[in-house]
Structure 1
Amino acid sequence: MRILSLHNRYQLPGGEDVVVSMERELLEANGHCVDLFEVNNDHITNSIEKAKSAVNSIYSISSKTQILQRIASFKPDIVHVHNFFPILSPSVYYACREAAVPVIQTLHNYRLLCLNSYFFREGKVCEDCLGKSFAWPGVVHSCYRGSKTGSAVIGAMQSIHRTLQTWNKVVDVYITVTEFARQKYIQGNLPASKLVVKPNFLYPDPKPGEGQGNYALFVGRLSPEKGLETLLKAWEKLAGKIPLKIVGDGPLANTVASTAQRLTGVEWLGRLPKQEVLKLMKDAQALIFPSLWYEGFPLVIVEAYAVGLPVIASNLGSQSSLVEHGRTGLHFRPGDPEDLVAQVEWALTHPAALAQMRQETRGEFEAKYTAERNYQMLMDIYERVVNCKTF
């Protein structure tokens, strides 16, 4: 099969970029021909470029032309879009329709329903725009990068393509990464018949670790929606009962750095290569996942399961179902550092239960998140779309 993959990379690299790369490797390893058409936002640094990008995010004629040319030269059986925002725009769907090539969109976040794609505002979950014909609450609150103008443009993009039936008629199938996300998109009026669940995966398999290191681990973007405030307050209350290693970078880096200097046992390691992160995971006692927003499908949870690492996660959104309390990890109330402390202390005083969780997490990975299983799911989706079969 010949697959044309489209992706707009992020200025701050994240899990979506990793998933796109892994999926390409997996398909190529199984004999398929993949052409990755990738753009990035690095040039969007001044007001002129931002204004141009905003307008183009609604419908980019140049992107449509480029994709038509790419389709003509590569002759794909299918086009798989991962992220069209902001440079590619929904015009790429129309290029596919014009060229009579089926198109799939993976919904890694909630961009079609929420201006900032997170369902997160002022430190908590917000669904004020869900189901509305125009996201006026998000414009009032400047939800896109603190700008009313930018928010209005993204709202216009959503509303215009909702009116044109782009979301409902021009895309053949949407892949959501969890059932939770699928239900949110159904609430947002996307057709249930076009929404299919395929989780993220890990490739290659890093194999399980032993958990011999005496520390807990956080891995992720250092930003408010990731629950860093909850994490740091909890470790202040734990008062050195178990060390915490923090891996990642982002807007809260200075806060994390100053806290690490102040609190004994808290260590900030910055951004690290994937193999070093996996090594830390293999030795950790637990992964702490204090996110305050509706995560898509956190790749860090798949990585933790692959190495047999239990996850202590906020009981919210997708992670509520991805982490099974008492089996593959523990839940705590979102934004509640005292409840996080209670769960960490329980884990420390129940080593046998924690050891059993290590086996359960590895079993969960082998049952649901291996490359082999994911490949079969992806090919089933591709073949059904190419052959015009229903789901």
Structure 2
Amino acid sequence: MRILQLNKFFYLRGGSSRYFFEVSKLLAHKGHKVGFFSMLDEKNNKSNWSKYFASPFSHRTLDRLFYSYEVNHKLSKLLDEFPADIAHLHTIYHQLSPSLLLELKKRNIPVIQTVHDYHLISLNYNLFHNGKICEITKQNLFYKGVVHKCRNNSYLYTFMEVIGKYFQYYLGWERNLVDLFIAPSYFMKNKLIEYGVEAEKIINLPHFIDHTDYQPNSGGGDYILYFGRLSEEKGLSFLIMVMSQLPKIKLLIVGRGDEEENLKKKVEKLNLTNIKFLGFKDGIELRDLIRNCQFTILPSLWYEVFGMSILESFASGRTVLASKIGAIPEIIKDGINGFLFDPGNTDDCKEKILKLWSNPVLIKNMGKNGRESVEKKYGWQEHYEKIMALYNKLV
């Protein structure tokens, strides 16, 4: 089968792009022909398909909120060379354009989309603003976001986004031209339905991991680990305050993001010596950091859509301490393969950290349970069979 994968970023940038690359790799491994459409960026992985990629997004390309001649023209050229049997969309909004759906439908190409964030139903990708969950525009009341400055904390950006959302809502491209939506969690599926997306068009299919790439470690180093995006909704400012009360426990923070400098300044201001920032890590280097930690932590304040870092931790035989929010409780079974705490609750989080840190046997047993759960529920073969069933249903 000829499968076109579309994502606005062609480099590793969080769980959505990791899934984009991993599912593409899986399909190619199984003998399918995989093509790519994305946006040019100096951070991109090398690709022979980049000659068709859209130019970088800027204030000069704001037309992509509505219709982009450039995006559609370049996609058309790609499809002339690579007549896809099906198109699999990931995150395309802003940097690419929903208008590309018109080009796909003009050629009668079935479209499936994995929903990695909340843009389909909200002005704000994360349903998170000013440090807390924000659903002020529910349901399709996008105009309310202007006063609230839901986009980039700016009246102008929010106003432009509101116009774009109503444009797409009334034309119906984003929702009507996609044949099937894949929700990685039941939480996401239910949230989409709650906001008016047709239930019949939504299928739950969790992400997967190749656990054979990860070697469990029965021991553990002298640190706990956070790895992922460094952004406000991930709760790292909260975690720093928790760790300020635990000076004898070391926290390593791996990743990059728009809050990186603010977080470093906070650590410096509090004069904390037990928190270290390691920057972006990937591949063997990241896997070694995971397998050698005591446990990983995910202190999210937003509705997590899935939680790839949890699967990576479990595959490494490491247990996870995480917020009880969004899709996280679908993966972490409290007291079995990890612990959950109330989001933003300092005492609850601190108590669970100390409980794990002081009990290596508990860490080992939970880590073993975590490894078993990814082997049984999140394997690549089962995922491949299910996604091919969806592709074949549409083709």
TM-score by length of structure 2 reads 0.90
SS in structure 1 of the partner of residue 169 of structure 2: helix
Give 1:10 deviation, angstroms: 7.5
Structure 1 Cα separation of the partners of residues 31 and 127 of structure 2: 39
Cα-to-partner distance string for 1:137-162 (whole Å, 9 max, x where unaligned): 22222221222222222222222222
Q: Could you tell me whether the CA contact under 8 Å between 2:143 and 2:162 is conserved in 1?
A: yes
1:151 corresponds to 2:158:
yes
* CA 249–168 in structure 1, closer or farther in 2 if over 3 Å, else same: closer
State the one-letter code of the partner of 1:33. K
The answer for the alignment partner of 1:275 in structure 2 is: 284
Counterpart for residue 215 of structure 1: 223
Q: Are 1:4 and 2:4 an aligned pair?
A: yes
TM-superposed deviation, 1:12: 8.4
| Cα distance between partner residues in 1 of 2:183 and 2:10 | 19
Which residue in 1 is equivalent to 2:392? 383
CA contact (8 A) 1:289 1:312 kept: yes
Q: 1:66 aligns with which of 62, 74, 77?
A: 74
Task: State whether residues 117 and 126 of structure 2, in contact with CA within 8 Å, keep that contact through their aligned partners in structure 1.
Answer: yes
Of 102-111 and 53-62, deviating more is 53-62
2:48 maps to which residue?
A: none
Determine whether 1:189 maps to 2:214: no
**Cα distance in 2, alignment partners of residues 112 and 238 from structure 1:** 40
Q: Which residue of 2 aligns with 1:82?
A: 90
Query: Of residues 115, 122, 129 in structure 1, which corresponds to 2:130?
Result: 122
| Aligned-residue offset at 1:194 | 0.7
* 249-258 vs 120-129, which moves further: 249-258
Q: 1:243 aligns with which of 244, 250, 260?
A: 250
Corresponding residue to 2:378 among 362, 366, 369: 369
Work out the number of aligned pairs and report it.
380
Q: 1:389 — aligned with what?
A: none
Q: Equivalent of 1:318, from 292, 312, 327?
A: 327
Query: C-alpha distance in 1, partners of 2:315/2:264?
Result: 29
- 1:344 deviates by 0.8
Taking only the aligned residue pairs, the percentage that are identical comes to 31
Letter of the structure 1 residue corresponding to residue 102 of structure 2: Y
**2:207 — aligned with what?**
200
Residue 52 of structure 1 and its aligned partner are, at CA, apart by 3.0
Q: Specify the alignment match of 1:288 in structure 2.
A: 297
Amino acid at match of 1:342: E
**Structure-to-structure mapping, 1:341-356, within 5 angstroms:** 341-356=350-365
Contact 1:309 1:361 (8 Å CA) reproduced: yes
CA shift, 1:49, in A, is: 6.6
TM-score, length-normalised on structure 1?
0.91
Deviates more, 1:12-21 or 1:25-34: 12-21
Unaligned stretches of 5+ residues in structure 1: 387-391
CA contact (8 A) 1:249 1:270 kept: yes
Q: Give yes or no for contact 1:167–1:190 (8 Å, CA) kept in 2.
A: no
Match of 1:15 in 2: 15
After superposition, the C-alpha distances for 1:279-333 in whole angstroms (9 at most, x for unaligned) are 1110111111001111222221111111111111011111122211101111111
Q: Does 1:138 align with 2:156?
A: no
Tell me the residue number matched to 2:38.
38
Aligned partner of residue 181 in structure 2, secondary structure: strand
Amino acid at match of 1:144: R
